Amino acid sequence: MKNYVIILFTLVYSVIFSQEIEEKEIPDYIKSVELRSLQTNSFLPIVKLGESFIFKFDDLEGDQKEYHYKITHCTYDWKDSGLSPTDFSSGFASGRILNFEDSFNTFLDYTHYEVLFPNTQVRLIISGNYLLSVLDEYDDLVFTRRFIVYQPKVSVGVSLHKARKIEDLNTKQNVEFTINHPNILFDNPSQEVKTVLFQNMDWNRAIYNIKPQFIRNGQLLYKYGDKTSFYGGNEFLFFDTKDFRISNNNIRRTVLQDGIYQTRLYVDQARANKPYTYYPDINGNFVIRSITTDKANTEAEYTKVHFFLEYTNLDEKPIYVYGAFNNWQLTDENLMHYNQTTKLYESSFLFKQGFYNYEYVTLNKNNEVDIVAINGSFFQTENKYQVLVYYHKFGSRYDEVIGFGEGNSVNLQN
């Protein structure tokens, strides 16, 4: 009878509290949003429990608005877990953003905001998925960002392999991983343990809830073929605006016009039917930097970057400039438009000085992001893959994140 009561309570709790959380895209006047660990060369919104991470953004209206943040604990599938702030944090899970500063000596005025976590107001005490919401002075939601806190209770080994199917050998990469859990006894790992697999931490192309294929003493093995394979895609394109005084391989020219810098890139060509060419990238990410200042947060300039794409397959599918610069979102701002005069797809929007990766994507027949149609897909492409391990013990109130692993496709195994 006691077990039935527990099951009933768990079901009722899930129905009441596992509700969709409200997410909101970044408005046009918010730019250069970063939420990442302070570890060197880390671009991911994934941090170990207790480690410091930073959240920063610019408001291009430059009027020193009063912004607040609120942190919400979420389930594995990004619903509100129903936990109160005292359950997942020490201190307050919300507060005013006190660290802000106006730009200095820039053509475009902006206000830079940032928050370091943990701080005197809040410290997260459990692992899990989290949603960071930014609210204005009227408590209206401005935008949100996801991040993940993990507590390493298991180790995750990740290896990259060539595709198993003959027809996919030249286009796909297959991910295999193993969860080693010598100190945790799972009663029912197929139900209690869930995983998420990312390619380059692209939220749009994650693979959720892969069940273990083999269960051994102290190990869960995931050695699938199709279930854990990704199109390799192509190396990301890039531009670097750290110095406006010189052009480079990808920037045709930068001029000061209408009170702002205008950066025109060279025309990009569709690469689907071209041979693979390797050049290093940072897998879709970006780094804010300027050669003329050590205080890029407030002294780096903004420039309107103009993109041009030569693409002859006019099938009326929308084409977007794509990357981590706007959290992998498809918005009206990064949508390209066909110019009948130039016979090119064109788009332009603002970027803070720095080094940026990007690529061009469209949507497939299922309305999903398609990285292949314009860029092509090659098994040689260098990608990073991330694996997150979630654990919901029977009777527990939330999904823990107990493991994180990462692998690189630079050396594919057979």
Interval 222-239: pLDDT, tens:
999 889 999 999 999 999
User: For residue 189, is pLDDT > 80?
Assistant: yes
Task: Note whether 402 and 151 are within 8 A (CB).
Answer: yes
Report the percent of the chain where pLDDT is more than 90: 85
Identify the weakest region by mean pLDDT among 13-22, 242-251, 259-268, 270-279: 13-22
Separation of alpha carbons 151 and 156, rounded Å: 12
Reading the block at residue 224, the tokens are 């699938």
User: For residue 16, is pLDDT > 50?
Assistant: no
User: For residue 344, is pLDDT > 60?
Assistant: yes
Q: 170 falls in which pLDDT band (50, 70, 90)? A: very high
Q: What is the pLDDT of residue 19?
A: 64
Q: What is the pLDDT of residue 314?
A: 73
Q: 219 falls in which pLDDT band (50, 70, 90)? A: very high
User: For residue 2, is pLDDT > 60?
Assistant: no
**2 three-state secondary structure:** helix
Q: 17 falls in which pLDDT band (50, 70, 90)? A: very low
State the CB neighbour count (10 A cutoff) for residue 141: 13
Considering only residues 103 and 22, tell me which one the structure prediction assigns the higher pLDDT: 103
Q: What is the pLDDT of residue 404?
A: 98
Q: What is the pLDDT of residue 23?
A: 76
Reading the block at residue 154, the tokens are 């298991």
Q: 31 falls in which pLDDT band (50, 70, 90)? A: very high
Distances 106 to 296, 302, 349 between C-alpha atoms, Å: 11, 8, 17
Q: 326 falls in which pLDDT band (50, 70, 90)? A: very high
Q: 18 falls in which pLDDT band (50, 70, 90)? A: low
Reading the block at residue 255, the tokens are 């001029």
User: For residue 8, is pLDDT > 70?
Assistant: no
Please, what is the average pLDDT of the chain? Answer: 92
User: For residue 12, is pLDDT > 50?
Assistant: no
The 10s digit of each residue's pLDDT in 100-124 is 999 999 999 999 999 999 999 999 9
DSSP-assigned letter for residue 11 = H
User: For residue 7, is pLDDT > 60?
Assistant: no
User: For residue 4, is pLDDT > 60?
Assistant: no
Q: 306 falls in which pLDDT band (50, 70, 90)? A: very high
Q: What is the pLDDT of residue 212?
A: 95
Reading the block at residue 367, the tokens are 């309305």
Q: What is the pLDDT of residue 1?
A: 45
User: For residue 247, is pLDDT > 90?
Assistant: no
Place of tokens 């991040």: 147
Task: Note whether 377 and 327 are within 8 A (CB).
Answer: no
User: For residue 244, is pLDDT > 80?
Assistant: yes
Q: What is the pLDDT of residue 20?
A: 66
Reading the block at residue 43, the tokens are 């671009």
The 10s digit of each residue's pLDDT in 40-98 is 778 999 999 999 999 999 999 999 999 999 999 999 999 999 999 999 999 899 999 99
Q: What is the pLDDT of residue 157?
A: 97
Q: What is the pLDDT of residue 97?
A: 97
* Section 346-370 average pLDDT: 95
